[in-house]
């Protein structure tokens, strides 16, 4: 998979945050990070169809560019419905988990230890996501800026968070220059800094 296709696929999976269940999204991101694009090409379109997830025209272009060369079924790709724009985000975000009072953030400490001195990583921030309809516990969303290898970084951080106890990690590695989707804008607006890498100009929120 060439780097353009990989970055397209990463961007698509980034855009699907909040629209595809975390349970499936982190898995697809892991497959992309592991280079299992063939598997992704089979499963992602089928999952989007079964879950009735509509794509914008731009997202459809990303999907086709990324997965068609890897063997995605064109019939499935063409069957995916388009939407004009992504509707309002179904979640609200807060800087602190409303369910618990933190007495120390071991996840933030571990992330800080990982990204320290990494020149491909900028800022790491976190916020807590709650569904507007309620009924689900708060989910931590980790937002990271990276200069390169975004997909692999997402996979790496996901593995760390899973080992720490988050079964379905929500790690959003944001490449430079991307227009943030509403989901990420909302998450970022409520986020607090967790750690800082060594990449220059990697601040998600201007200081």
Span of 33-41, 56-64, 172-180, 199-207 interacting with other proteins by CB under 8 A: 33-41
Does 107 contact other proteins by CB under 8 A? Answer: yes
d(CA 84, CA 15): 14
Only segment of 12-20, 37-45, 173-181, 189-197 that touches other proteins (CB under 8 A)? 37-45
| Measured torsion, CA atoms of residues 166, 168, 173, 179, in degrees rounded to the nearest 10 | -130
> 50-69 b/e with 16+ CB inside 10 Å = b?
eeebebeeebbebbbbbbee
Q: What does the alpha-carbon distance between residue 89 and residue 87 come to, in Å, rounded to a whole number?
A: 6
Let me know: does 146 contact 7? Beta carbons within 8 Å. no
Shortest spacing between CB 135 and other proteins, in angstroms: 11
Task: Name the minimum Å distance from CB 131 to other proteins.
Answer: 12
For residue 47, the minimal CB distance to other proteins (Å) is 7
Q: With contacts defined by CB under 8 A, name the span among 3-11, 87-95, 113-121, 138-146 that binds other proteins.
A: 138-146
**Distance between CA atoms of residues 123 and 68, nearest Å:** 33
Terminal Cα-to-Cα distance of the chain (whole angstroms) = 37
Judged by CB under 8 A, the residue of 5, 42, 114, 192 near other proteins is: 42
* Near other proteins in 166-195, by CB under 8 A: 166-168
Footprint of other proteins (CB under 8 A): 23-24, 27, 30-31, 34-36, 38-40, 42-43, 46-47, 50, 71, 73, 97, 99-107, 137-140, 158-159, 161-168
């Amino acid at each position: 998979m060439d780097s353009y296709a990989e970055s397209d696929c990463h961007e698509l999976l980034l855009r699907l945050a909040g629209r595809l269940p975390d349970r499936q999204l982190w898995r697809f991101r892991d497959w992309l990070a592991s280079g299992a694009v063939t598997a992704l090409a089979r499963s992602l379109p089928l999952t989007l169809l079964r879950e009735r997830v509509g794509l914008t025209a731009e997202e459809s272009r990303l999907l086709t560019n990324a997965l068609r060369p890897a063997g995605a079924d064109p019939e499935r790709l063409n069957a995916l419905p388009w939407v004009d724009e992504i509707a309002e985000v179904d979640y609200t975000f807060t800087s602190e988990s409303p369910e618990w009072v933190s007495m120390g953030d071991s996840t933030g400490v571990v992330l800080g230890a990982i990204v320290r001195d990494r020149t491909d990583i900028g800022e790491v921030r976190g916020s807590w996501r709650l569904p507007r309809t309620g009924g689900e516990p708060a989910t931590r969303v980790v937002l990271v800026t990276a200069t390169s290898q975004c997909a692999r970084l997402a996979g790496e951080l996901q593995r760390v968070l899973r080992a720490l106890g988050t079964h379905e990690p929500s790690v959003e590695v944001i490449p430079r220059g991307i227009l943030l989707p509403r989901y990420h804008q909302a998450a970022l607006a409520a986020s607090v800094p967790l750690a800082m890498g060594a990449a220059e100009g990697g601040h998600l929120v201007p200081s």
